Copies of this chain bind each other. A is one copy, B any other.
Amino acid sequence: MKRCIRNPLITIEDVKPSREGLRVEGIFNCGVCQYQDEILLVCRVSESAGFTSQSVKIPIMVQNGSNMAMNVVEVVKAEHPEWDFSDSRSVRQKTPHGIKTVYLTSFSHLRLARSRDGINFTVSDSPMVQPVLKEESWGMEDPRVTRVGDTYYINYTAVSPQGPATALLSTKNFVDFKHCGVIFAPENKDVVIFPEKFGDLFYALNRPVSEAFGTPEMWICESPDMIHWGNQRHFCSVSGNRWESGRIGGGAVPFRTEKGWIEFYHAADENNRYCIGAMLLEANHPEKILARTENPVFEPEIGYETSGFFGDAVFTCGCYQNSNKIVLYYGAADDKICRVDFTLEEIYRSLKL
C-alpha cells in the first residue's frame, strides 16, 4: 500500500466557487473512471455561504418556475436557542425522535476533474450538472461511476429536507447527461452499482437507515434497467470489530478479479472515525461474501487525513485497475482528494486468501 507522494492531489485551492457569494469548503469523495485516454474524477464540491459567530448563511435550492435557483437563508443563532451549532457540517435540534438535522451548512455539487497520468488533475471551472430535482434541493453528494459498455452511470446522494436519498445520472460523453431520478428513497446512500449484469439483472449494494431501529448496514438489490430496483436483501452486518462498530456502507464501485469481486467499503466507529475495509464477493453471486478484512485496509493516519473540514476520515467512492495495481482515490478529512495504490496481492493478503 503506497500513498501518493503528491498527496493531497486536489484541494480547495484548485476549485473556483460555482457562483458569487459562495466559498469552497471541500473537494473530496469522488467517483472514478477511465474515459478515452483520461482518468476522470466526478468530485463532490461543498460550498458554504459564510458564517460569523452570530449567524450562519445556509445555501439551498428553491423551485423557481420549472427551474431551481439558489437561495441563501440567514439563520441568526440568538433567534434559535433550541438549535445546536457546534457541528461544522449541520445545524441540529433535539427532538423526541433524537437529534435531527435542521439545515446543512454547506451545499454540495458535482464537479469534473481530468488527468492523463492519474496524478495531475485539472478541475473544471463550473459544476458538471445543475440540480433539477426537488429531492436534491440540499445538494448532490458522494458520486460513484459505473461503466457499462459505452454508458457511464453516476449515482449520487440526493439531499433534501426529506433526508438523504440516492439518484442516478447517465452519460456517454460527460457533456450531455440524462437525469434518471431518485432510485432509492431516503434514508439510503452509499450505493455502488456493479458494472455487469448477473443473468438479466444489475446488482447494487445500498445502505438504508431506519429511524425506528437497526444499525446502518449494507443491503443488496437487483434491477433490469438501472432505474427500477427490487429484491432488497440484507447483505452485511457491522462486525464486532471496533473500527466498524458504528456503521458500514458501500465505498468504491466493485471490480472483478480472478478470485471474485473486490469491494472497498467504508466503516465508522462510535466516534465517527472513518476507515476503509475490503471484502471479496463470489464472481457470479455477489450476494455471497467469501472473505472480509479483520482490520482496515486503510485508515486516517497522515495530517491531511486526520485534520480538515471533518477530521479522521478517509472515504472512497472509486478506483481503477492498472494491471496488477489498484489505484484508489479517496476523500481525506472531507476537504481534499488523495490517492493510494494497492497491489492485488496486498488486498488478497489482507483478506487472508
Q: Judge whether A187 and B161 touch: CB under 8 Å.
A: no
Instruction: Choose among A133, A208, A222 the residue with the greatest number of B CB atoms under 10 Å from its CB.
Output: A208
Q: Judge whether B213 and A161 touch: CB under 8 Å.
A: yes
Contact among B163, B214, B215, B223 with A214 in the assembled complex (CB-CB below 8 Å): B163
A194 proximal to B (CB < 8 A): no
CA distance A230 to B166 in the complex (A): 10
Contacts of A1 in B (CB 8 A): none
Can you name the residue of chain B whose Cβ is closest to the Cβ of A98? B98
Q: Judge whether B228 and A222 touch: CB under 8 Å.
A: yes
Q: Judge whether A232 and B165 touch: CB under 8 Å.
A: yes
Q: Judge whether A164 and B212 touch: CB under 8 Å.
A: yes
Q: Judge whether A210 and B209 touch: CB under 8 Å.
A: yes
Q: Judge whether B100 and A221 touch: CB under 8 Å.
A: no
Contacts of A208 in B (CB 8 A): 162-163, 165, 185-188
Q: Judge whether B231 and A182 touch: CB under 8 Å.
A: yes
Contact among B99, B209, B225, B228 with A98 in the assembled complex (CB-CB below 8 Å): B99
Q: Judge whether B232 and A184 touch: CB under 8 Å.
A: yes
Q: Judge whether A234 and B134 touch: CB under 8 Å.
A: yes
CA distance A270 to B227 in the complex (A): 36
On whether A209 and B212 interact (CB within 8 A), knowing A181-B230, A230-B227, the answer reads: yes
Can you name the residue of chain B whose Cβ is closest to the Cβ of A209? B211
Q: Judge whether B188 and A233 touch: CB under 8 Å.
A: no
Contacts of A214 in B (CB 8 A): 160-163, 186
Q: Judge whether A210 and B163 touch: CB under 8 Å.
A: yes
Q: Judge whether B181 and A212 touch: CB under 8 Å.
A: no
Can you name the residue of chain B whose Cβ is closest to the Cβ of A234? B162
A229 proximal to B (CB < 8 A): yes
Instruction: Give the interface SS of chain A, mostly helix, strand, loop or mixed.
Output: strand
Q: Judge whether A100 and B230 touch: CB under 8 Å.
A: no
On whether A183 and B230 interact (CB within 8 A), knowing A164-B210, A209-B210, A217-B162, the answer reads: yes
Contacts of A135 in B (CB 8 A): 232-234
Contacts of A160 in B (CB 8 A): 214, 234
CA distance A184 to B232 in the complex (A): 7
CA distance A215 to B222 in the complex (A): 28
On whether A186 and B162 interact (CB within 8 A), knowing A181-B232, A228-B230, A229-B229, the answer reads: no
Interchain nearest-CB distance for A289 vs B (Å): 14
Contact with B along A98-133 (1 / 0, CB 8 A): 111110000000000000000000000000000001
Contact with B along A182-201 (1 / 0, CB 8 A): 11111110000000000000
A sample of 11 more A-B contacts (CB under 8 A), given A101-B213, A180-B230, A223-B230, is A97-B98, A102-B213, A133-B233, A135-B233, A160-B214, A163-B208, A164-B210, A182-B230, A183-B232, A187-B210, A225-B228
Q: Which 9 A-B pairs have the closest CB atoms?
A: A98-B98, A163-B210, A228-B228, A187-B210, A185-B208, A101-B213, A182-B232, A228-B230, A163-B214
